[in-house]
Amino acid sequence: MNAIVAWKEPQGTVVPRSADNAVVIAGVAKNLSTRDQKQIVAAFESESFEMMAGFVLNKALSQLKRALASMGMTFVGEMLGRADINEDSVPTVSISDYEAITLARELGVINSTDAKRLTQHLELLAHFDSLNTDDAESEEMAREEALSFLRTCVNAVLGREGNVAPAEFITFRSELESRTFKEADPELVTLQVAPYFFKKTTLSILLAGAKTKTGAQFEHTLGNIVVIVPSIWESLRDSEKYSVGQAYAEAVSAGSSAVVLALKKALSSVQGFDFVPESLRSQSFTAAASNVISVHTAMNNFYNEPSAIQALSRLGSTIPWPAFPICMSAILAVKLGNRYGTSNAAIPIADELLQRLTKNQWDYYLNECLPGDELVLQKLSWYEGPLKRWISLVDQFGLPAKADKSPLVTRLLAASRRKDTQASANAAKALLEAMRK
């Protein structure tokens, strides 16, 4: 392989635009058995819309997870930052629905439009699933919503035969352990201008390999840390830079002299020791924040969020810098909620955590973290409710009208202070698009 090839996301649709009934749409679902197609049509025609939507979405997400698993579950764990995932992990159990959609979009297995629709459908289904018996009697899924579920799932996954993880990335991942790159190699030149996901994943593979590989693979991994980390350092976000510093601290603590030497060379060449934590307590914060996000994006989120964010709140009065980006993402996810509202019991805890923040921490989040906070930017771009709660948050915490480093964040803050919802939404969309380029 001569360079990292950025594959294109799937284009076009497989469902005819004129298709307006379940029979036609289900009929083009190549990845569904005839029996499944008949069950979908029967459920739709009997107006069991929620049952049909849940069935077809589960089928689509299960197939998506199997496509990701074709790259190897250990590799999937590396890309997701999940140390608990290994080759024996079952993809449909180990990979959350939100993780599957996000990772599939980043890998080009599905396109960004279908990923957005699948995420919204997932939230809608979670909403109906969380209704109590009385509310469930009066709030029902509409025929159009159910048809939209079916159309999206067939267009994105069930109607396509090409939902497979790209071979180019698998090859590049293998080469990170089978050869030591040189500064002049075309792969490194390409990596420097590649989409951010390539850089982030390459870094996570190298750091994971330094802990787990042996023999020649271990030597190549360390050699590539010395060469690759400095080559992409300037383009990395602080959250990734802190992960390198964290890996160095862990290697020192474990007495892994070879790993310490490689990381020290890499960090020294870019003056990166500012990102080495004084302690490893950030691991606890990161794990707690990850759990908040997992709960927030799953079923019964309003019920489960209070205990999850309470666990984060009890870890300490200050958030360590390496864990700060993911902790803020988790706290703001709870604070902003989703299109169906917020968890009333969790909001006071989120407010307490936000009230602890200093001006310096807010400035750091707005300048360094928000431009890469996909979960928060999705909420501001897609949904009116979270966007309005963001505008209230800007007023509640007296956030500035200007960000020092990002004109797009300044645009968002200024619009939010004016309480201009449309301008705020447009600014958030611009940030989301810039993050994905």
Strand residue runs (E) in 159-263: none
Q: Which of 349, 345, 283 is nearest to 311 (CA)?
A: 349
Whether residue 4 has pLDDT greater than 60: no
What's the confidence (pLDDT) of residue 137?
74
Tokens found for residue 195: 């989409």
Amino acid at 318: T
3-state secondary structure of 338: strand
Whether residue 7 has pLDDT greater than 50: no
Please tell me the distance from the alpha carbon of residue 342 to that of residue 386, in angstroms, as a whole number: 9
Average pLDDT, whole number, for the chain?
Answer: 89
What's the confidence (pLDDT) of residue 287?
86
Name the least confident of 24-28, 61-65, 105-109, 424-428. Answer: 105-109
Whether residue 220 has pLDDT greater than 80: yes
Can you give the pTM of this predicted structure?
0.68
Amino acid at 282: S
Rounded to 10 degrees, the C-alpha dihedral 334/338/341/342 comes to -10
What count of other Cβ atoms lies within 10 Å of the Cβ of residue 289?
Answer: 26
Whether residue 374 has pLDDT greater than 50: yes
pLDDT tens figures, 241-289? 989 998 998 898 888 999 999 999 999 898 888 788 766 567 778 889 9
Name the least confident of 85-89, 163-167, 222-226. Answer: 163-167
What's the confidence (pLDDT) of residue 86?
87
| Residue boundaries of the structural domains of the chain | 22-158, 176-275, 282-436
Q: Give whole-number Cα distances, 169 to 102, 280, 328, in Å.
A: 17, 32, 30
The torsion angles phi and psi of 64, rounded to 5 degrees, stand at -60, -40
Which secondary-structure segment (H or E) carries 74? helix 73-80
pLDDT tens figures, 55-72? 999 999 999 999 888 878
Rounded to an integer, the average pLDDT of 28-57 is 93
Whether residue 129 has pLDDT greater than 90: no
Which pLDDT band holds residue 16 (cuts at 50, 70, 90)?
confident
Report which of residues 264 and 9 the model is more confident about.
264
- Percentage of the chain lying above the pLDDT 70 cut: 95
Which pLDDT band holds residue 423 (cuts at 50, 70, 90)?
very high
Q: Which of 84, 37, 76 is nearest to 56 (CA)?
A: 37
Q: Which of 437, 431, 336 is nearest to 379 (CA)?
A: 336
Are 185 and 3 spatial neighbours (Cβ–Cβ below 8 Å)?
A: no
Which secondary-structure segment (H or E) carries 347? helix 347-355
Q: What does the DSSP 8-state code read for residue 7? A: P
pLDDT tens figures, 329-373? 999 999 999 999 999 999 999 999 999 999 999 999 999 999 999
Tokens found for residue 261: 């030497």
Whether residue 239 has pLDDT greater than 90: no
Q: Which of 128, 106, 101 is nearest to 117 (CA)?
A: 101
Please tell me the distance from the alpha carbon of residue 115 to that of residue 101, in angstroms, as a whole number: 6
Rounded to an integer, the average pLDDT of 34-62 is 94
Whether residue 135 has pLDDT greater than 50: yes
What's the confidence (pLDDT) of residue 34?
93
Please tell me the distance from the alpha carbon of residue 201 to that of residue 80, in angstroms, as a whole number: 9
Interior CA angle at 187 toward 235 and 259, to 5°?
Answer: 70
First to last CA, the chain: 23
